């Protein structure tokens, strides 16, 4: 039991930090521009594929730097020539543009790399256990991912609190019109934040792609989860996004390990129920482990209905 607890905690921390790498950029973009970027997870996928392609030519380590920079540049271009063009047609058009973009990126990935998963591997240097507890290994690559995520977290914190541009971004998070009225180049800041957010998503792809899987479906798998993080965390709050990332990481990781169903719950109170057929039989047979995919959405829908501000949000979505 302690083993399950310790490793689930470590894994949920890892997954949560990876989610934060995606959601931090998304929440910054969402809060400043009011656009929920549906293509954000697509940049995560592009990061993984770029890193894979670079690793084929020159190995893993250069890709760790080059791929996020490339993704950031692409993101900035998308903001400058795509989003800014549709901005005049309103929020719905902006949202739809990112939806179309996500669709196109997925197809372009299939076009270039094919439908099958890419053979993007963990570098050999990190392909050994870091430590062993109760006969379960914790691989060195997991440690490396955690390290990168923590470095990114500290870096983001320092940029946002210690630099001039960071202060402008922070101000634009809560009062975008006010910042614009003070004469700051808000479109330029938008482009920078959009590019930066995409670069972070790309970095998550570089280190996550070889750990999980690099295939054309990876954006569609992760995309909605990142929205859940942003909504649950609350608009305009990076801390909220951080807490929500860890929370969702924990929910999903722990749910996978719990094999209890409604039948077991009733057994606890001494009631033994069994249904021969129909919906009730299905309902009573579902184990918590199987509900992993729907828990985040359930969480998000209830959050939006009962507390639209999110956990730590300052204004309504």
Partner 1 sequence: MSTMQNTDSSKKWLHVLALWAGAILMIVLLPLLLRSSFMLSMASEMGIMIIFALSYNMLLGQGGMLSFGHAVYFGMGGFIAMHALNFINAGVLFLPLEIVPLIGGLGGLFFGIIFGYVSTRRAGTPFALISLGIGELIAASSLMLPSFFGGEEGISGDRMAEITLTPFGFGQQIEVYYLIAFWMLVSIGLMYLLTQTPLGRMANAVRDNPERTPFVGYNTHIVRTIQLSLAAFFAGIAGGLFAINYEIVTSEIVGAIPSANVLMMTYIGGTGYFFGPILGAILITIMELMLANITHAWVLYYGLMFVAMILWAPGGLAGLIMMHKQLWQGRVLSGVLKAYAVIAGPVIILFLGCMTLIEINYHLSLSIKPEDPLHIFGIEFYAQSIWPWVISIVLSIGGLVLFQRSRRIVSRAWQTAGMQLKQKDSGS
Residues 256-315 that bind partner 1 (CB under 8 A): 277-279, 281-283, 286, 290-291, 293-294, 297-298, 300-301, 304-305, 308
CA distance 154 to 272: 52
Q: Tell me if 96 contacts partner 1 by CB under 8 A.
A: yes
Kindly state the smallest distance separating residue 317's Cβ from partner 1, in Å.
5
Among 91, 121, 307, 315, binds partner 1 (CB under 8 A): 91
Kindly state the smallest distance separating residue 208's Cβ from partner 1, in Å.
21
Site size with partner 1, rule: CB under 8 A: 50
Residues 171-200 that bind partner 1 (CB under 8 A): none
Among 5, 85, 185, 188, binds partner 1 (CB under 8 A): 85
Q: Tell me if 103 contacts partner 1 by CB under 8 A.
A: yes
Among 111, 182, 267, 273, binds partner 1 (CB under 8 A): 111
Nearer to partner 1, 177 or 277 (CB): 277
DSSP string of the chain?
Answer: -HHHHHHHHHHHHHHHHHHHHHHHHHHHHHHHH----TTHHHHHHHHHHHHHHHHHHH-HHHHHHHHHHHHHHHHHHIIIIIIHHHGGG-HHHHHHHHHHHHHHHHHHHHHHH-SSPP-----GGG-SEEEEETTEEEEHHHHHHHHHHHHHHHHHHHHHHHSHHHHHHHHHHH-HHHHHHTT--HHHHHHHHHHHHHHHHHHHHHHHHTTS--STTHHHHHHHHHHHHHHHH-BT-HHHHHHHHHHHHHHHHHHHH---BHHHHHHHTT------SSHHHHHHH-BGGGGTTTHHHHHHHHHHHH-TT-SS-SB--
Site map for partner 1, 32-61, x if CB under 8 A?
--x-x-------------------------
Among 10, 110, 165, 258, binds partner 1 (CB under 8 A): 110
Among 95, 250, 258, 289, binds partner 1 (CB under 8 A): 95
Nearer to partner 1, 85 or 136 (CB): 85
Going by C-beta distance under 8 Å and a sequence separation of 6 or more, which residues neighbour residue 24? 156, 197, 200, 238, 241, 242
Q: Tell me if 226 contacts partner 1 by CB under 8 A.
A: no
Nearer to partner 1, 68 or 233 (CB): 233
**Residues in the site for partner 1, rule: CB under 8 A?**
34, 36, 82, 85-86, 89, 91-93, 95-97, 99-101, 103-104, 107-108, 110-115, 220, 224, 227-228, 231, 277-279, 281-283, 286, 290-291, 293-294, 297-298, 300-301, 304-305, 308, 316-317
């Amino acid at each position: 039991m302690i083993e399950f607890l310790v490793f689930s905690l470590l894994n949920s921390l890892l997954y949560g930090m990876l989610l934060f790498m995606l959601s931090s950029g998304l929440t910054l973009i969402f809060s400043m521009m009011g656009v929920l970027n549906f293509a954000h997870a697509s940049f995560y996928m592009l990061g993984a594929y770029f890193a894979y392609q670079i690793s084929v030519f020159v190995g893993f380590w250069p890709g760790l730097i080059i791929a996020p920079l490339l993704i950031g540049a692409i993101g900035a271009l998308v903001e400058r020539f795509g989003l800014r063009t549709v901005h005049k047609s309103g929020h719905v058009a902006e949202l739809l543009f990112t939806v179309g973009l996500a669709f196109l990126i997925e197809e372009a990935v299939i076009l270039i790399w094919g439908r099958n998963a890419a053979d993007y591997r963990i570098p050999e240097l990190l392909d050994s256990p870091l430590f062993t507890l109760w006969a379960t290994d914790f691989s060195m690559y997991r440690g490396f991912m955690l390290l990168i995520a923590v470095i990114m977290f500290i870096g983001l914190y320092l940029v946002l609190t210690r630099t001039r541009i960071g202060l402008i971004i922070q101000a634009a998070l809560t009062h975008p019109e006010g910042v614009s009225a003070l004469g700051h180049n808000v479109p330029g800041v938008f482009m920078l934040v959009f590019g930066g957010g995409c670069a972070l998503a790309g970095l998550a792809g570089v280190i996550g792609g070889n750990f999980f899987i690099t295939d054309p479906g990876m954006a569609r798998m992760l995309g909605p989860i990142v929205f859940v993080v942003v909504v649950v965390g609350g608009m305009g709050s990076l801390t909220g996004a951080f807490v929500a990332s860890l929370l969702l990481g924990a929910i999903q990781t722990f749910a996978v390990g719990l094999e209890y169903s409604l039948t077991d719950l009733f057994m606890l109170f001494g009631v033994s129920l069994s249904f021969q057929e129909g919906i009730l039989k299905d309902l009573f047979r579902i184990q918590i482990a199987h509900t992993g995919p729907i828990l985040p959405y359930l969480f998000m829908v209830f959050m939006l209905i009962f507390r639209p501000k999110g956990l730590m949000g300052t204004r309504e979505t």
